[in-house]
Chain A
Amino acid sequence: MKTKLILLIICLFHFAYTKAQEEAMSNAEISNFKQTVVAEAQKIKTLKTDFVQYKHLDFLSKEITSSGSMLLKNPNKLLWKYNKPIQYGILFKDNKVLINDQGKKNKVDLGNNKKFEKINKMIIGSISGDLFSANDFNITFYKNKNQRIAKLSPKTKELSTYIQTVILYFNNQQLTVSEVQLIEPSKDYTKIVFKNKQINQPIADASFSF
């Protein structure tokens, strides 16, 4: 009985270990993966997805969860629309940033500066995978049983004071990002999980307004 129990525990641990185990991609795998992701990203004209955002702060027992939808129309139109816990929208359109905070529109926001915009461009790039072609990051590639993973570290000091690492997860052979993890210098992170992704479905320009 005792032996069986030990075996079971070993099996469980082995399973958990295998599941979490990441290994580095080979050079051929990296080249192939980059090529297909970038090619796919270039085909994206529109993207519509729901998302759940988890803000992890180490000292809290649970994560701060927000959710909503995101619309992207290339070039230059991006809308993040939060429905929970509050109604909040941030719209990047034609190099302008507009905010709708529970009905209050067009505020001057601290986020409305170039650095923050850079971070947001990074988020768009993360979703489409377009970041691979950017020169701002050192990128390493990994894989596990179900996912392909790209870890990006900013090369510039300016960006690395905000973000230490961006991790992009591509689930089950998908060529667009399923999950983004933005790790801050303090090791706290924001994880955004995308659901119900629709690529190249028509989105009216009018959707990019408040």
Chain B
Amino acid sequence: MRHLAFSTLLLLLLTGCKVYYPNHTQQDYKQADTVIQNPYFADLNDERLYRATIRFYKKEFSGMFVAKRINQQEHRIVLTSDLGNTFFDMTIAKDKHQVNYIMQDLNKKIIINTLVKDFRTLTQVNYPITYQDSSSRQFLSTMDGKRYFLNLNDQGKLVKIETASKYKPKLKIQLSTDSIGKLDKFSIQHHGIKLQMEFVNIPF
């Protein structure tokens, strides 16, 4: 009887914990060995300004956002208020980061770690691919135990980056370009916490 209960529990656990694949199942993927480039923050001379709106639970605030690749390894990420004062200013590399400034109210480890992870995913230039789906529009990159799903549109442009643990989606970044292929709008949406960030390009 005890054995039966254990087996049932095990069965329930196994069927409940399906490995997460957005819009697909594991069978739809085949092995691949390629690299997808995220071109939007890859150019060392590119300076674009975005209007940011950030919603965190019931709080909402807005400001000016800049992300710039400052050398081969690092990006500088800054958000300021409309009145000019800096909310945060960080330098982010693949395995490390540096907080150049952060407003006292935001200076909490959990906030900094979330921002670093989000903007690292947004600005990472190369994603090594290990699997791709049959349509060759969705790619899976696995790095440091994290899974990154990258979506290309019909024109081959990167339009979505989704991060997931083995079983759950974590973060969704949606990207859209203007007529010359520059990043015009993007959004970062969390699944676990109620944090959503939207960015729209403005003249600079």
Contact = CB atoms under 8 A, between A and B. Distances in A.
B84 interface: yes
Interface residues of A, number: 38
A8 to B, nearest CB: 35
A110 B176 CA distance: 27
Given A60-B66, A62-B204, A111 B89 contact: no
Which 4 pairs of residues, A with B, have the shortest CB-CB distance? A190-B84, A110-B61, A186-B101, A85-B202
B62 A85 contact: no
Please classify how large the interface on chain B is, using the bins under 10, 10 to 19, 20 to 34, 35 or more.
20 to 34
Given A64-B204, A85-B203, A57 B49 contact: no
A111 B84 contact: no
Contact of B61 (A57, A109, A162, A188): A109
A23 interface: no
Contacts, number: 90
A88 B82 contact: yes
Given A115-B104, A116-B81, A161-B104, 7 more contacts: A55-B84, A64-B64, A66-B82, A86-B202, A182-B84, A182-B85, A190-B83
Contacts of A6: none
B49 A64 contact: yes
Nearest to B87: A110
Interface string A155-179: 0000001110000000000000000
Given A55-B64, A86-B202, A186 B86 contact: yes
Contacts of B53: 101
A52 to B, nearest CB: 12
A59 B60 contact: no
A163 B103 CA distance: 11
B89 A120 contact: no
Contacts of A86: 51, 82, 202
A100 B105 CA distance: 23
